[in-house]
A and B are shown apart, each in its own frame.
Chain A
Amino acid sequence: MRILVVEDDKDVAGFVVRGLREAGHVVEHADNGRDGLFMAASESFDAVILDRMLPGGIDGIRLLETLRAQHNSVPVLILSALAEVDERVRGLKSGGDDYLTKPFAFAELLARVEALARRGKGEGPVTKLAVADLELDLLSRQVKRAGQKIDLQPREFRLLEYLMRHAGQVVTRTMLLEGVWDYHFDPQTNVIDVHVSRLRQKVDKPFPMPLIHTVRNAGYMLRAEGT
């Protein structure tokens, strides 16, 4: 994927650019708002990682608002040290698709930016999700694996749905908290891990091939082995 990183801090930018390249993406970098806006507006990217406080007269919010005013709908992840709820709301209101506060774990950034870039390429509304022999029917709210019906509680269903919608991608704990529980803060206890392990008991345990995998230092990934 082609990703634009607009970030003025050399260390952070270098780290992010290197990490994204290692993950197999094509990365462009701008270290000020003016260049960032020019590149984002003139070239086509799958996602933009945008710092808020930038030199060059155009800060992240201005850049984003200008971009959106030009009907450019490239997915934008805002990466900022401004962590207050109001700042987050402001970032999302001016057209950001996701907001990650510094300091951040690279795995979190990668997972979120990949999820964002792929979200833009949705095939429209789906009624059925399938990974390997696992099927999830969004209309009848039924889950089957290898033709066998699995009983899930409503929240477990939504958790599995989220994992399946992001099949093949790393999904972090905070992404699950936000996406499944609509929680925007970090509970100190690892509540998510327990929920995922309960889901595993039902979806993976009775079957020979596990689908929900733990990604070390990052989160979870649902995928068929070998794909």
Chain B
Amino acid sequence: MNDAPALSDHPVDAARPGLQRRRVLFLNSAGVRFAAIYTGLLAISAGALAMFLWWATAGLLDRQVEAAIRTDAQGLAQRWEEGGVAALVLAIEDRLAGNVDDDAIYLLVDPRMQPVAGNLSRWPAAVQRTDGWYELQVQRAGVRSLAQVHRYDLLNGYHLLVGRDVRNRAQLRDLLTDALLWAMLVVAVMATAGGLIVRSLFRRTLANVSATASAIAAGDFAQRVKLSGRGDEFDQLAETINDMLDRIARLMDGVRQVSNAIAHDLRTPITRARTRLEDAAIHAETPEELRAAIERAIADLDDIVAVFHALLRIAEIEAGSRRSAFKQIDLAPLLGVVAELYEAVAEEKEVRLLLEAPPHLPAYGDRELVQQAVANLVDNAVKFSPSGNCVGIRGEARPTGVAIVVTDHGPGIPEIDRSRATERFFRGESARSTPGAGLGLALVQAVAQLHGGELRLGDAGPGLEARLLLPASERAAHA
């Protein structure tokens, strides 16, 4: 039956829309457009060059001839004024005799248009007016030639024709015209070739980007746009795209890490809550016991909610959407409020809080987030500080920005753990016994990164020194 071909057609049909989408119409191609622009620009500039050449050579010759004729005529007019027809005739003959190049043309005619002197046999019929230039064929000593002439009317009805033989100039003009036409042709060929090259370059560069994008769309996240190494605009674009891809990859890693962490770290409290409820449902004998179990389970759930809340908040900060709330802030009062908030807790633990800050500490950022970050650092410091010790909160203005340094003299974080301490859910050995989910430093790190700053963990010998670096001004933040 006909079933087989129909079946084999099917995949082809399915693939066709994709192909059509990829085959860009010739005229819609940006490459063609760029090539056309390139060709057009080349043609225009070549044309402009040709015009200039023309004007500079042929035009110059024209102007020189005209100037010579004018000077000639002026001289002759002077002779006419001095000595009348006789002097003029003499002058013309003189000039013709002295004309080495044999290119001068003179003709003096009487009122009846009969030649009186000069090297033309008769007055050319075309020359009627005195206010323009004529270019005409003349018969001179039996040879046809091209002449540029001007007519001057003298008193008593005499007319004078002064001109120059421009045969050579005409030849030069022909030569130039030919050369320019050939040049235009070459330009056209080169422009087309160049256009095609531009188009294919354009295509190849885009193909690189689009191949990378398709590979990533297909799931291969390791792909990056290849750099040509020339450091040109396309390389800059490729670098920008690669940076973007790196950031996306980092975010995806973050998401993966968080989902793993949720799976592992939230399982424990959820299990605990569930066990409590099930245990109470089976074993509770009095309403009081039941109520107590339920309340403990609610407390467990509240802890889980708090962890979720912290996770979402970190994700929100990392997504960078909070940058809209950035403005110039003063960290000095902010540190004061945080210190005051924790002072009571610290005092109860017999820990002294030492706040050290200049009267004004300008910074650029989101007040609420910075406040939360500082609060987290102080919270940690107070939590891990042994009683009888002190926790230092120091604000410093530096040329590079603002530093908030929180130090405690607790167990600190061993060097090998420091780089991991800002990961979500990371809890050091010494932190196992204290309450917390291991999200505090992750949030501080996220806040620091959002501000283009940094969180550095160091040794306070003994203890932890957490240094939060923030930009001092908007300009520093974008630098």
Task: Report if A15 contacts B (CB, 8 A).
Answer: no
A73 to chain B, nearest CB (A): 27
> What is the interface size of chain B, counting residues whose CB is below 8 A from a CB of the partner?
30
Name the segment of B172-180, B221-229, B340-348 touching the other chain: B340-348
What is the CA–CA distance of A114 and B435 in the complex, to the nearest angstrom? 33
Confirm or deny: B420 has a beta carbon within 8 angstroms of a beta carbon on chain A. Answer: no
Q: How many A-B residue pairs have CB under 8 A?
A: 56
From A83, A155, A184, A191, B368 is in contact (CB under 8 Å) with: A184
- Which residue in chain A gives the minimum CB-CB distance to B443? A185
CB of A69 within 8 A of chain B? no
B169 proximity list for chain A (CB < 8 A): none
Question: Do B306 and A191 have beta carbons less than 8 Å apart?
Answer: no
In chain A between 178 and 205, which residues have their CB closer than 8 angstroms to a CB of chain B?
181-191, 194-195, 198
Q: Determine if B313 and A185 form an interchain contact, defined as CB atoms under 8 angstroms apart.
A: yes
B306 touches A189 (CB 8 A): no
B337 in contact with A189 (CB, 8 Å): no
A188 contacts B436, CB within 8 Å?
yes
Q: Are A84 and B340 in contact (CB under 8 A)?
A: no
Within 8 A of A (CB), among B414-436: 435-436
| Interface SS of A by simple majority | loop
Task: Report chain A residues within 8 Å CB of B340.
Answer: 155
Query: Taking chain B's interface residues, is the majority helix, strand, or loop, or is none over half, making it mixed?
Result: helix
B450 shortest CB reach to chain A, Å:
12
A217-B295 Cα distance, complex, nearest whole Å: 9
Partner pick for B312 among A84, A182, A191, A198, CB 8 A cutoff: A84
Question: Would you call B246 an interface residue if the criterion is a C-beta within 8 Å of the partner chain's C-beta atoms?
Answer: no
Contact check, B322 vs A191: say whether CB atoms are below 8 A apart: no
Give the contact stretch, choosing among B5-13, B79-87, B375-383.
B375-383
Is A103 part of the contact surface with B, judged by Cβ < 8 Å?
Answer: yes
* A11 close to chain B: CB less than 8 A: no
* A85 to B340 Cα, complex, angstroms: 24
Given A85-B368, A191-B342, A194-B348; A105-B316 close (CB under 8 Å): no
Asked if B379 contacts A188 (CB within 8 A), the reply is yes
**Of residues A83, A155, A187, which shows the largest number of chain B Cβ atoms within 10 Å of its Cβ?**
A187
Question: Which B residues are CB-close (under 8 A) to A84?
Answer: 312, 316, 321
Q: From residue A42, how far is it (CB to closest CB) to chain B in Å?
A: 36
27 A-B residue pairs with Cβ-Cβ distance under 8 Å, sorted by A, are A84-B312, A84-B321, A85-B313, A85-B316, A85-B322, A86-B322, A101-B309, A103-B301, A105-B302, A183-B371, A184-B368, A185-B368, A186-B309, A187-B375, A187-B379, A188-B435, A188-B436, A188-B440, A189-B379, A189-B382, A190-B345, A191-B342, A191-B345, A194-B347, A195-B341, A198-B344, A217-B295
Among all A-B residue pairs, the 4 with the closest Cβ atoms? A194-B344, A194-B345, A195-B344, A185-B372
